[in-house]
Structure 1
Amino acid sequence: MEGIDLHTHSNISDGTLSPEQLVLAAVEKNIHTLALTDHDTMDGLILAEKAAEKQQIKIISGVEISSQWSRPATKKSYGVHIVALNMKNPEPLQRILIEQKKVRAARSKQICDLLIPLIHEDIYADVIAKVDGEADRVTRTHIAKTLVEKGYVSRPQQAFDKYIKEGKKAYVKFEGLGLAETIDVIHQSGGFAVLAHPTKYDLSATNIRYLIEIFAQHGGDAVELPPAIEPASTRQMIDRKIAEHELKVSVGSDFHGDHMPWIRLGNIPRLKEGQIGIWESFNH
């Protein structure tokens, strides 16, 4: 299992390395199987594949899709990220990603507009400059970085906590695909649907368990294992739900780059006995 990282980001979304730099960094880390999973875009894939041509590394097609789900009892909608891996026929997914990009572009402008009365400045032009003028690449991380550079906060997390996370005045929900639709289009594209970082959505343990349950009911393929820094009890809960619903597992660092130095490329959790890696299905 060592040498696999199936959740990484480049500067095509909110990472700091170019796809080419990411591939070379992975080679230095002795990673032999790498998935580039930028947010709602596969635009970096060709660049990554080209960089890997003369290296001993296999590039897995990937994308991290912004999706949403809800509990029937409460009707409240929650955001969730689904990683699509190893698409054999990406056209259906690419069509959906065009729409996701439009949502992302509109959302970034909305957030910046909501920030104006809070900071008395329009930072939209500065945010767009970070993504070479391509508004559909903007994530909240780009907005947070801009707020740091402008001196409104001292670090990106403070920008989230003060302005742009859920419940704050400049928060705008990403109205992405529903969970069932996301899984369906991934399967239409010949890929595998992975529930990304299930413990990072600020959900109660009850809701995490329910999320995994409905993910499995809708045909999801694998759950990404929590990082080793999570409490043992959290990992045990995830392991139990994976076994209960006979899901495979995925491993990924969620590497973004130098602005998140605590997340290291290739630093992935270990599988427990009986767990089957989704990568074993890639060539079937």
Structure 2
Amino acid sequence: MTNADLHCHSTYSDGLLAPADVARRARDGGVSLWAMTDHDEIAGQREARAAAEALGMRYVEGVEISVTWANRTIHVVGLAIDSGNRGLVDGLAATRGGRDGRGRVIADRLADVGIPDAYEGALKYANNPALLSRTHFARFLVEHGYCESTSDVFARYLAEGRPGFVPHQWATLEQAMGWIQGAGGTAVIAHPGRYKYTQIEFAALFDVFRDLGGGAIEVVTGSHTPDQYREYADVARRYGFRASRGSDFHAPGEGRTELGSLPMLPDDLTPVWRDWQ
């Protein structure tokens, strides 16, 4: 069985470890096929590939693209991409452009509920200021004792409907799919269990994604519960999607699972990596 981990992050977006350190952690967790998928950024791919190959792991280039669909944010992972593709590079640069302004508005809203200096505090955690994210704000709030964990921060301050939540218009689904496919990659809906859609909206998302050439869905991921493993395995069967697997690792101790430690995919599903050379 292939121990694949095809969704994780480094200091190039909102992870706490450099690509080489993530690679070592993946190898130590038993991963044999790895992809680093930073948010809207592919600058760390050369480092990640070199580290993976030095450790004896197979590596595929990846990225996680922020998308606005039906007025909410979803994420689409691109796997086995060519990170040098000009259309992808330019598209990601454009979608990164709004993060700083959004971060300043988040900080203003947090100040309104008694949390000052959040913008400067979040920047301390952002190795790449152009990719300032809610996770960086969450780490600042934990550091200063407003919450005990980053998940608690999201629940109290940064999730939709909370005082620090700021919606943003990211790439369209069509744009993200075009960038991934133009770079020779496979598009994967990331952690669908996290999205607050109705059954009708989910059905529309899966239909549109498939019609645009979307090939796979994350089934076993660190963002899903065991019940959701089964739910999205059924979605993969129903729509003919291939199945992906990834920890969504950001930092030691922050998520539900470690690199390489997830259950294997159900035997009857076709893994997204089946035909990769």
What is the TM-score when the length of structure 2 is the normalising length?
0.91
SS at match of 1:80: strand
Choose which of 165, 174, 177 in structure 2 pairs with 1:171.
165
How far apart in 1 are the matches of 2:263 and 2:203?
Answer: 20
How far apart in 2 are the matches of 1:179 and 1:111?
Answer: 24
Q: Does 1:224 align with 2:240?
A: no
Q: Does 1:260 align with 2:254?
A: yes
SS at match of 2:54: coil
| Percent of paired sites with the same residue | 30
- The structural deviation recorded for 1:86 is 0.8
Choose which of 96, 102, 105 in structure 2 pairs with 1:101.
96
- The structural deviation recorded for 1:120 is 5.0
Choose which of 93, 107, 120 in structure 2 pairs with 1:112.
107
What is the TM-score when the length of structure 1 is the normalising length?
0.89
Partner AA of 1:21 in structure 2: D
How far apart in 1 are the matches of 2:260 and 2:145?
Answer: 33
Partner AA of 2:88 in structure 1: L
SS at match of 1:281: coil
Partner AA of 1:271 in structure 2: L
How far apart in 1 are the matches of 2:204 and 2:50?
Answer: 40
Unaligned runs of 5+ in 2: none
- The structural deviation recorded for 1:206 is 4.2
Aligned to 1:160: 154
Cα 1:49/1:202, change in 2 over 3 Å: same
Matches within 5 A, 1:122-271: 122-132=117-127, 134-227=128-221, 230-232=225-227, 234-271=228-265
Aligned to 2:34: 34
How far apart in 2 are the matches of 1:5 and 1:28?
Answer: 12
Unaligned runs of 5+ in 1: 71-76
How far apart in 2 are the matches of 1:166 and 1:194?
Answer: 23
Q: Does 1:92 align with 2:111?
A: no
SS at match of 2:192: coil
- The structural deviation recorded for 1:20 is 0.6
Q: Does the 8 Å CA contact 2:95/2:170 hold for their aligned counterparts?
A: yes
Aligned to 2:67: 67
Q: Pairwise CA RMSD of aligned residues?
A: 2.0
How far apart in 1 are the matches of 2:47 and 2:185?
Answer: 20
Q: Does the 8 Å CA contact 1:225/1:269 hold for their aligned counterparts?
A: no
Q: Does the 8 Å CA contact 1:35/1:61 hold for their aligned counterparts?
A: yes
The number of aligned residues is 275
How far apart in 2 are the matches of 1:153 and 1:272?
Answer: 37
Write out per-residue CA displacement over residues 233-277 of structure 1, whole angstroms, 9 at most, x where no aligned residue: x44442333223222111111112214253111123433343211
How far apart in 1 are the matches of 2:115 and 2:29?
Answer: 44
- The structural deviation recorded for 1:227 is 4.2
Cα 1:215/1:97, change in 2 over 3 Å: same
Partner AA of 2:140 in structure 1: T
- The structural deviation recorded for 1:183 is 0.9
